[in-house]
Amino acid sequence: MSAPKDKRPIIIKKVSGGHGGHHGGAWKVAYADFVTAMMAFFMVMWIMGMDAETKDSVQGYFQNPVGFNKGFGAGANPMSVGNSIRNQTTVTVALMSREHQENQFNAVAQRIRSRLERDAELKRLAGNFEITVTPDGLRIEITDAGAGDTFFALGSSQPSPTAIRAFSLVGEELSDLENRVVLEGHTDAVQYGRAGYSNWELSVDRANAARRLIVGAGVDHRRVLEVRGHADRRLRLADEPNNTANRRVSFLLPFNAPGDGSLVEVPASEPTLPESGAGQ
């Protein structure tokens, strides 16, 4: 009789191996990240090779793509909806950086000062021009001198030959900028006793006379945002309300806001309520 056979069970082990290669998707994510990084790298290198003006345009696009595209016609430019500038009936406000605008303002201020020094008639009045770059924008203030009739006769809004020369000079230098312009007129506290015509009307009329002169010198009339009259409510020399230095005309060019292509908000003017008597 033969020996019994081994009856131990046969155990079959199945090892499930990982499916790599084209069966996995992790490599696709890594590859997409790599392509994105390379695209960003080449865009940075491309922008670094541009001139300053083109860089400002690219910056304006990424800050406000919708506002930037409104100025272009149809086309295939990837940085806009087109490559040809449309004819617009409204003033185009450039989306420039604040630093670039400050540089422009400082250049204009320097040119005005230089021209005043070279002008034999206006050189003596250079001290009456105050030109500053403020947090709101470029401010140019022209104060009266002497008896107070250098730029306007007493109680009049008719500019003198000196005023025509001075305001036209300012207008010529502002004509190349794209910022809007706010004009303000101020009087001293002296009342001139003219029925139905007060310091309010006089200050507005003098600011409006300055507006006509700068527009005549080349400033696009559509850039004029406001013409204000403050009468004697914002005295330059509060302790000397009758001082002729309080009689002045101011020009404010607010910074263009790159966020939406609009201007920075300018403080509202005071209401022009009529008063009895007129100032100088």
pLDDT tens figures, 158-217:
999 999 999 999 999 999 999 999 999 999 998 866 778 899 999 999 999 999 999 999
Q: Are 236 and 161 in contact (CB under 8 A)?
A: no
- Domain chopping of the chain, boundaries: 26-89, 98-254
Q: Look up residue 279 and give its amino acid.
A: G
Q: Grade residue 277 by pLDDT with cuts at 50, 70 and 90.
A: very low
* 0.85 exceeded by pTM: no
Average pLDDT of the chain is 78
Q: Grade residue 93 by pLDDT with cuts at 50, 70 and 90.
A: very low
H-state helical runs in the chain: 26-48, 52-63, 65-69, 98-118, 161-174, 199-216
Q: How far is residue 190 from each of residues 240, 245, 274, measured CA to CA in Å? A: 11, 12, 15
> Considering only 18-32, 81-95, 210-224, 249-263, which range has the smallest mean pLDDT?
81-95
Domain 98-254: CATH superfamily, name plus number: OmpA-like domain (3.30.1330.60)
Q: Are 188 and 155 in contact (CB under 8 A)?
A: no
Q: Grade residue 88 by pLDDT with cuts at 50, 70 and 90.
A: very low
Residue 109: the pLDDT is 96
The radius of gyration of the chain's CA atoms, rounded to the nearest angstrom, is: 34
Long-range (24+ apart) CB contacts under 8 A made by 232-236 are 232/186, 232/187, 232/188, 232/189, 232/199, 232/279, 233/270, 234/186, 235/186, 235/188, 235/189, 236/141, 236/143, 236/186
- Mean pLDDT value across residues 84-99: 54
Residue pLDDT, tens place only, 118-148: 998 889 989 999 999 999 999 999 999 778 8
